[in-house]
Chains A and B, each alone.
Chain A
Amino acid sequence: MAPGTTPWARSGPCRRAVLAGGLTLPLAACAGPLTAQNEGENDPGLALSARAAQDSSALLARYDATAAAHPQLVAQLSPLRAQVFQHIKAFTVPGAPSPSVFVSASAPAVARQVPADQGQALAALAATEQRLADARTAALQEAPPGLACLLASVAAAGACHVLLLQDSA
């Protein structure tokens, strides 16, 4: 794969804006295009990214199974599920096998794991989010810079999901 086509490389600098309206910060935009820094790092980055996409796909399957078992939770889970879907897209390496294959293959097994009690189902989903956020936080230590940034952001989003799921449990 040519440099510049990795999903995290497309994002450019992690952060390119400064505080608007006067709470001005020094602009410490990330250094240059990620592609240049990623040269020679593509292999571990690609493997990590593919794994992250697969993990998010498994998480999405959990959301779907939980919503299927507890239809009254659909409205509450939908915004979080939508974010997980965005994470899959962000991690997905162009040309790699679609993570949805993984999801459909494992969906029945996932459905059997959803507790019948609604509160327990939310708690189980929160626990899954927490484990994944912890794993990503550990994995980002070995990741190329741009992917580390993306993993940290998605891990933070996962921690926020845990908070929101626990608040509603």
Chain B
Amino acid sequence: MTSPPTASAPGSALAAAQAALAAEYAALYGYGVVGARVGAGRRSDARAAYDAHRAQRDALTRTIHGLHADPVAAAPAYALPFPVPDQAAAVRLAAYLEDRIAGTYADLVRTARGDLRRDAAAALRDAALRAVRWRGSGTAFPGLIERAP
């Protein structure tokens, strides 16, 4: 008889999935700020991104349940990485959030197999695409911070 894992071992697919889920919660918080500051012209983009991250949060929650673990909860509060007083900063924050999300999914690709790896690769791609839409340009290695220029 095996007991269900109560903690996710570092480097495991479960740990990476939990990290991705925590990042999705942080992104949902962050997009709340983005939506409030980004201006009418890009508010629908912020809404679409928010919805996408909510769907990812739900998918990861199901995945982690499927791995017989308790999904991490949202933090009670988040500090922004930089002040977001205006539209330009809101766009920077959105791109920043997507970069970070891409990083967590890159970890999940690395640690997972099968369907979870495939889904993580798709989520990495989607985050990279959203970052490009916010920023207007892309990077050579989305999600791989150590390869960033």
- Chain A positions within 8 Å of B, measured between CB atoms, are 11-17, 19-32, 79, 82-83, 86-87, 90, 133, 137, 140-141, 145-146, 148-150, 152-157, 159-161, 163-164
Partner of A156 from B100, B110, B124 at Cβ < 8 Å: B124
Q: Which chain B residues border A150 with CB–CB below 8 Å?
A: 141, 144
- B144 to A148, Cβ gap below 8 A? no
Q: Which chain A residues border B61 with CB–CB below 8 Å?
A: none
Q: Which chain A residues border B35 with CB–CB below 8 Å?
A: none
In angstroms, Cα B12 to Cα A32, docked, is 11
- A29 to B11, Cβ gap below 8 A? yes
State how many angstroms separate the Cβ of A13 from the closest Cβ of chain B: 7
State how many angstroms separate the Cβ of B12 from the closest Cβ of chain A: 7
Q: What is the total number of residues of chain B having a CB less than 8 Å from a CB of chain A?
A: 53
In angstroms, Cα B15 to Cα A70, docked, is 48
**B109 sits at the interface (CB 8 A):** yes
- B102 to A30, Cβ gap below 8 A? no
Q: Which chain A residues border B15 with CB–CB below 8 Å?
A: 26, 28
Q: A30-B111, A160-B138, A164-B132 are in contact. Are A11 and B143 (CB under 8 A)?
A: no
State how many angstroms separate the Cβ of A139 from the closest Cβ of chain B: 11
Q: Which chain B residues border A19 with CB–CB below 8 Å?
A: 23, 26, 81, 100
Main secondary structure of the interface of A (DSSP, over half): helix
A-B contact pairs, 10 of them (CB 8 A): A15-B106, A15-B145, A16-B145, A19-B100, A21-B81, A23-B29, A26-B15, A133-B125, A155-B121, A157-B142
- A26 to B138, Cβ gap below 8 A? no
- Of the listed residues B80, B129, B144, the one surrounded by the most CB atoms of chain A closer than 10 A to its CB is B144
